[in-house]
Chains A and B, each alone.
Chain A
Amino acid sequence: MIAVQDRKLALWNIGVAYAAFLIGTLCGLLQVFIRNDALQLPAWLDYYQILTAHGVLLALIFTTFFIFGFFITGMSKSLGSFGPKVRLFSWVGFWVTLLGTVMATAMIVAGEASVLYTFYAPLKASGFYYVGLALVIIGTWISSFALVGHYRVWRKNNKGQLSPLFAFMTITTIIMWIIACLGVVATVVFQYIPWAFGWTDTIDVELSRTLFWFFGHPLVYFWLLPAYMAWYVIVPKILGVKVFSDSLARLSFVLFILFSIPVGFHHQLTEPGISNFWKFLQVVLTFMVIVPSLMTAFSMFATFEIAGRKNGGKGLFGWFTKLPWKDIRFTSIFIAMAFFIPGGAGGIINASFQLNEVVHNTLWIVGHFHITVGTPVAMTFMGLTFWLIPYLTGRKFTKAMKMLGLVQIITWSIGMLLMSTSQHILGLLGAPRRTAYSGYNNHPSAMEWFDGILTNHVTMAVGGSILFVSAMILIYIVVMTMFLSPKAVEEKDLVDFPMAESDMSRTPKWLENWWIWIGLAVLLIAVAYAIPLSHMIQHAPPGSEGFKTW
């Protein structure tokens, strides 16, 4: 078991994550009912306010705090207890991120920031909303540097050795995150904040969008990589085998440093100000980032087969039935992975240049989001939560909780399947995203969208309601394992952190030479962005004043 102070740190992070999850999922429930015109909000509350809260609290806050809770636990376990400086900076990072969260949320509640979590200018929120978001990023940087410091101490004490796989992957994710955030920090600090407080009159809209998406796509990898860490490092241990290939796991992670950043234009394919050449170049780079995911898929199924055969599975697919399906720690993550197959394929469609016109800003994108971050990432985090909290609190993960966990995972899967299928089809038909009830005055074209068996308003609402029930079950499990479940006294009741062994004997040392990967990443970013970005700045139109259209 890791040091008690490190446990406290991790638990606070996870606690905040689930507070955000509670409010965020409640917003989601309200949305599905407003969308089908079944619910009228009171005058002081607006659909887009709730939508902003849903996006910010789930996509940004729940993920970020959970990820740091997971990192802190795993880093303390794999590299040893934190020193006083690392601990101090981890707390400072935590409080700064929390302060930013509270500020941004207060502005949303006050109706001063119904600009969604993408906050596209020239929608102008209160300056404190942008300051809040900036603090969230700065807080994560402080927490990140604390973990990097911990890692450096370990490296100094273990000269010439490769770090444990969990630590290696944590550092990879952090490096990618820090480079990615430079874009959003630049736009928020130099464009939004001076403009929102009235120090400058106008803002260059296209530039702000471009800097946002420099950050926006690697942001999704910041959610995904910790899930991949669980798949690479935790799952084999649960299955009783080793990591399939240490060097491939590391290689796939460093490829994410290279290719997850210079790809932001694929979110801007249908907009002006970027020429087709540069859009297409970034489409090509986007396809490169699929390669490490293909490697991951192979490693996972190889791990499953090895484990299944070890348990006596015979024939071509017999091993599949020999996997520990009754172990909720495994089943949850397996379902999460299964959702990522259509999720990843949908991503390839979205990034396919002109094909993007068919789906851009339709409900398809919302569906895509929910079967990428909303299930593969979120459900992996749920699968981790089941044992991570008892591990940190020293409480039992009781039989009743295991049963509830199974119910929670199954309901989440069913709810998401209904809701996201409906959203994907509606999007293909043309229904727009990010709208309240969108009947367009009962326009016949709009009415047609909602005619199908899967695409009618009821299906999405049923899906959303099941998801909310599932979320509440999860909150119950979190509260129980955090505060109320009986303490584990006997050895057999102690919950362990399953961290698989990884054979590093054949892993090349250059994989852990970070300067190679940072250097290559900077080079690729320069290739992908330098010319179109400088063109955008040099040929900028007169800027835009702010608008508050809500």
Chain B
Amino acid sequence: MHLHKYEKIWLVFGIASLIVFLSVVGVSAFSQDHTPAGGMETIDPKKVNETAPFDNPGVTQLDDDTYQVAIVALAFGYTAPELKVPVGKEIVFKVTSTDVVHSFTIDNTKVNMMVVPGRITTKSYTFEKPGTYLILCNEYCGTGHHMMYTEIEVYEE
């Protein structure tokens, strides 16, 4: 098959760029642990309220530098009383749903988690600035989808 010289240059340049992009993404993901939200844990969607950690949703301190935040999403809100976490500490969010698919998305952060019934989504995040952050649902979940929100307060220790 005949390839024009300029086409060869163009394709080499294009494919090399793609390899560079992928390497940046891959190295950042697997050597610096910058992976998107996920997790392989499952849960019975009908027994969420009696299954740890969702039987006691909210903030739990795991050790000096780590906090866990358990959240249950449901149409159209989050059962997450008093969300207050310190700045500069690792916060592990664990979210599940008792009804349809939602998201748990914190504005101005990289926390953007799909919440799927039957599954537990996990994301670790460290806030750099104190303040009150808007949490919202960005996966369509019904008539009240655009009213599904809450807040999290990040305080300085």
Known: A544-B45, A549-B142. A205 touches B75 (CB 8 A): no
Number of residues on chain B facing chain A (CB within 8 A): 67
A126 at the B interface (CB under 8 A):
no
Which of A283, A354, A437, A550 has the largest count of B CB atoms less than 10 A from its CB? A354
Is A7 part of the contact surface with B, judged by Cβ < 8 Å? no
Structural contact, A357 and B116, CB atoms closer than 8 A = no
Does the CB pair B11–A294 fall under 8 Å? yes
B119 contacts A272, C-beta separation under 8 Å: yes
Check B100 against A272 for contact (C-beta < 8 Å): no
Interface residues of A (CB under 8 A from B): 46, 48, 114, 116, 120-123, 204-206, 209, 245, 247-248, 251, 268-276, 279-280, 283-284, 287, 290-291, 294-295, 298, 302, 348, 352-358, 360-362, 430, 432-438, 440-441, 443, 445-446, 506-508, 539-545, 547, 549-550
Measured in the bound complex, the distance between the Cα atoms of B6 and A101 in whole Å is 46
- 27 example contacts (A-B, Cβ-Cβ < 8 A) are as follows A121-B101, A123-B101, A204-B118, A247-B2, A271-B38, A272-B119, A273-B119, A280-B30, A284-B22, A294-B10, A298-B10, A302-B7, A354-B29, A354-B34, A355-B25, A357-B36, A360-B114, A445-B134, A446-B107, A539-B40, A543-B118, A544-B45, A544-B118, A545-B46, A547-B75, A549-B99, A549-B142
By secondary structure, the A interface counts as loop
B30 contacts which chain A residues (CB < 8 A)? 276, 280
User: Is A272's CB under 8 angstroms from B114's CB?
Assistant: yes
Given contacts A247-B1, A283-B25, contact A440 B116 (CB under 8 A): no
Q: Is the CB of B45 within 8 A of A440?
A: no
The answer to whether A287 touches B21, judged by C-beta atoms less than 8 angstroms apart, is yes
Interface centre among B100, B122, B143 (most CB of A within 10 A): B100
A435 in contact with B112 (CB, 8 Å): no
Q: Which of B1-31 contact A (CB under 8 A)?
A: 1-4, 6-7, 10-11, 14-15, 18, 21-22, 25-26, 28-30
Say yes or no: A298-B36 contact (C-beta < 8 A), given A272-B122, A348-B21, A541-B42: no
A291-B119 CB under 8 A given contacts A270-B37, A430-B107, A432-B105? no
Q: Which one of A122, A251, A272, A362 has the highest number of Cβ atoms from chain B below 10 Å of its Cβ?
A: A272
Is the beta-carbon distance between A298 and B11 smaller than 8 angstroms? yes
- A283: chain B residues within 8 A (beta carbon): 22, 25
Q: How far is the CA of A541 from the CA of B136 in the complex (A)?
A: 26
A352 / chain B contacts, CB cutoff of 8 Å: 21, 25
Known: A275-B40, A355-B25. A291 touches B116 (CB 8 A): no
Q: Let me know if B36 and A356 touch, CB within 8 A.
A: yes
Segment touching A, from B59-67, B84-92, B145-153: B145-153
How distant is B152 from chain A, measured CB to nearest CB, in Å?
12
Contacting pair A270 B114 (CB below 8 A): yes
Interface pair A445/B119, CB less than 8 Å apart: no
**Distance of A295 Cα from B29 Cα, bound (Å):** 29
For A543, what are the chain B residues with a Cβ–Cβ distance below 8 Å? 118
Interchain CA distance A470-B144 in the complex, whole Å: 32
> How many Å lie between the Cα of A122 and that of B119 in the bound state?
13
Chain B residues lying within 8 Å of A355, measured Cβ to Cβ, are 25
CB–CB B29/A280 < 8 A: yes
Query: In the complex, are the beta carbons of A506 and B40 less than 8 A apart?
Result: no
Pick the contact of A291: B14, B34, B37 (CB < 8 A).
B14
Please give, as numbers and ranges, the residues of chain A lying within 8 Å of B141 by CB-CB distance.
123, 549
- Taking the complex as formed, is B155 at the interface, i.e. its CB lies under 8 A from any CB of chain A? no
- Check if B68 is an interface residue, CB within 8 A of chain A: no
Q: Which of B4, B25, B116 contacts A205 (CB 8 A)?
A: B116
Extra 6 A-B pairs, beta carbons < 8 Å, given A271-B119, A298-B6, A441-B149: A209-B101, A280-B26, A295-B11, A298-B11, A541-B42, A549-B76
Q: Is the CB of A271 within 8 A of B116?
A: yes
Task: Decide yes or no: A542 and B119 within 8 Å by CB, A270-B37, A291-B15 being known contacts.
Answer: no
If A440-B147, A445-B134, A540-B42 touch, whether A122 touches B117 (CB-CB below 8 Å) is yes
* Interface positions of B from 63 to 84, Cβ below 8 Å from A: 75-76
Chain B residues within an 8 Å CB radius of A348: 21
| Bound complex: CA A492 to CA B40 (Å) | 67
Residue of B42, B46, B139, B143 near A539 (CB, 8 A) is B42
Residue of B nearest to A244 (CB): B4
Query: In the complex the two chains form, what is the Cα distance from A205 to B44 in whole Å?
Result: 12
User: Known interface pairs A48-B140, A287-B18. Does A445 touch B3 (Cβ–Cβ under 8 Å)?
Assistant: no
Q: How far is the CB of A36 from chain B (nearest CB, A)?
A: 13
A435 to B29, CA, bound (A): 31
- Residue numbers in B under 8 Å from A279 (CB-CB): 36, 38
